[in-house]
Chains A and B, each alone.
Chain A
Amino acid sequence: MVAVPFASPSTTSRVARMRATLVTWLAAGLLALGGLLAVSNGFFLATYTLSAATILLALAAAVFAASIWAKRRIRRDIDAKLGRLERFMQTFGQTQGTLRGLDGRIVLWGIGAERLYGYCEEEALGKNGFDLLHTRFPIPFEEINAILARDGEWQGELTRRHKDGREIHIIGKWSLIRGEAGEPEVAIEVSSDITSIKLAQRQLHQTNALLRAILETAPGLIYAKDLQGRIILANVSTLDLIGKPWPEVEGRTDLEFLDSKGQAEAVMVNDRRIMDQARTEEFEEVISCEGRHPRVWSSTKAPLRDADGKVIGLVGVSVEITERKRIEERLQLMVNELNHRVKNTLATVQAIASQTLRGGDPIVRQNLERRLMALAAAHDVLTREKWEGASIDDVVTGALAPFGEGGDHRFAVSGPSLRLLPRAALALAMGLHELTTNALKYGALSTLNGQVAINWQIVEGAKPLLRLTWIESGGPPVAVPSRRGFGVRLIERSLAQDLGGKASVIFDQPAGIVGTIEAPLCDVVVSAEVTPFLPVGALQAGAR
């Protein structure tokens, strides 16, 4: 049962009731008159007055009956109206509508309000709704009341608290209901829950703020263009580079911003291609500037799509790498110069040795020459890699190359790809050279069918090791030399020392020579995490 807070009879029912009252009074008057006549008839004309009194009484009875009938009809009418009102109230209660007194006291609380706020009717009725729901108003409550009193209605966003404590946002529509004299009686509140919309708005706002922050802090150009290449978004860096404020940039193309129209067209053709192919691409762009060196940009451009996935433009990020390119070029130049010096020095050493050893043992001279060549070959590998390291395959192949002519089948080389540190690469190249020379003179390579298996692997453990083995087979019977030659000593000492590990050469009779080199992996291999970075200063200088 919905509490009906007040009964305001309609105009029509008031007229009907007044009429019924009038009839009742009329009947009462007639009855009184009849009674008077009946009383008075004993003194005057008995027969006449008695009949008149009877008629009056009958008339009064009829009028009474009519008044009772009229009252019953009015009652039915009122009942029907009250029933309708009650049904209306129930339905109203199913919406999120409530009624409250002017003091805020809740007088109607339906199932809709219960669903919205969590409180049932018993918990809500009679309470102050604003306190119960911890209502926060967009403007002072007094102002709202003033508007309500003036206009009869008010609408605004309210923040309230659900029974379970969570905050809900609603749009409230308030209407004032006035009494017969026009005085405010109660207020209807109809609420719409906009919490999810509010949250979505807040998220959108946060996303926008985040995007803005990224746009403004990213050390590079961020921009978006439409299908015609017109700029539709540009961050501060982009505007700084163009040298114009946003209103003068929006909707314009590169043709207006780049010094060279040809370059602008080339950039736009490339942009267009990326949009057509709808694929993200990364590349370098060289843009010349009047009176300055050309600037090099590393750009990533991706197609920009609408909600349906249709390409409507592109988004680009460009970071200037002019300085980096310059440093790279200088580094390359220096590496070339270094290599040139090293090679010249080696050639000079060769020349000195050749002069010094003139007339001596040609074998000695050849040995020296070959060792110098091996050293030079290892330098070549390192130079190609800018002295950052060398692939172990390249080092091994390079060391065997002078001996491999027409005899590649003599070497079986296997092992995982690794990048050696420069020092390790040089040491390994020299060691392999000695082993090969020895094998050619006395070992497996001194015969037609002898072979050498070179294998390296990573030995896992607390401290992983790189283990490289050199195993000769098919050679002549091996004799342990009475004196360990320079080559063997170079391997066992120098190599072990340079690699921070251990090396051994075993004259394994009769199979052949077995060489083993073991070194801590971390001391010989370029760590994957240690990629050569540019100094931070260079990066900053290249940012704009």
Chain B
Amino acid sequence: MNDAQIFVGIRVLIIEDEALVSMMLEEFLEQIGCRMMGTASRLDDAIIKARSLPLDMALLDVNLAGEASFPVAEILTARDIPFIFVTGYGPLGLPADMRHIPVLPKPFQMAQLVDAMRMAAY
């Protein structure tokens, strides 16, 4: 877990509609020393938080209770905040202009989460 030290203290937003998955993500991130800035499970909430919170990184579920979360992705891109998609779909479910964003397929292991975050950060 030493390579995850780079994430100590970074501010993260989790956007995920499955509460349990969201909780697990929080637990994972806290283990590697991230600072949890907040969570959102609905699109409108996610948009507000993505616009307003001070962030270094975001984890973004592609499907938020049936709604695509791409508007959030656009806000994060505009703010130049690195993020990863967390999805059950795989990269093919993404619009062409977002295919370069790292994708963390569900279910995932912690190592995969760290890899995806590293890819997004650099």
Q: A residues engaging B (CB < 8 A)?
A: 336, 339-344, 346-352, 354-355, 358, 369-370, 372-373, 376, 380, 383
Contact = CB atoms under 8 A, between A and B. Distances in A.
A342 B90 CA distance: 13
B18 A344 contact: yes
A358 B31 CA distance: 12
Contact of A355 (B20, B87, B88, B108): B20
23 contacts: A339-B88, A339-B89, A339-B90, A340-B87, A340-B89, A343-B105, A344-B21, A346-B107, A347-B18, A347-B107, A351-B20, A351-B21, A355-B20, A355-B23, A355-B24, A355-B27, A358-B27, A369-B107, A373-B107, A373-B108, A376-B106, A380-B90, A383-B90
A370 B88 CA distance: 17
Contacts of A340: 63, 87-89, 93
B5 interface: no
A342 B88 contact: yes
Contacts of B87: 340, 343
B89 A369 contact: no
A346 B106 contact: yes
Nearest to B62: A340
Given A340-B63, A355-B20, A347 B89 contact: no
A72 to B, nearest CB: 118
Interface in B20-34: 20-21, 23-24, 27
Contacts of A347: 18, 21, 24, 88, 106-108
A220 B89 CA distance: 37
Interface string B89-110: 1101100000000000111110
Nearest to A354: B24
A380 B93 CA distance: 13
A143 to B, nearest CB: 82
A270 to B, nearest CB: 26
Contacts of B90: 339, 380, 383
A408 B118 CA distance: 25
A376 B20 contact: no
A354 B106 contact: no
Nearest to B61: A344
A354 B107 contact: no
Given A336-B89, A336-B93, A343 B24 contact: no
Contact of A350 (B24, B63, B92, B105): B24
A346 to B, nearest CB: 4
A457 B18 CA distance: 43
B18 to A, nearest CB: 6
Contacts of A376: 105-107
Interface in B53-91: 63, 87-90
A358 B24 CA distance: 11
Contacts of A354: 24, 27
Contacts of A358: 27
Contacts of A342: 88
Nearest to A375: B107
Contacts of A339: 88-90
Contacts of A350: 21, 24, 107
Contact of A344 (B27, B106, B109): B106
Nearest to B104: A347
Determine which residue in A346, A351, A358 has the highest number of CB atoms from chain B within 10 A of its CB, and name it: A351
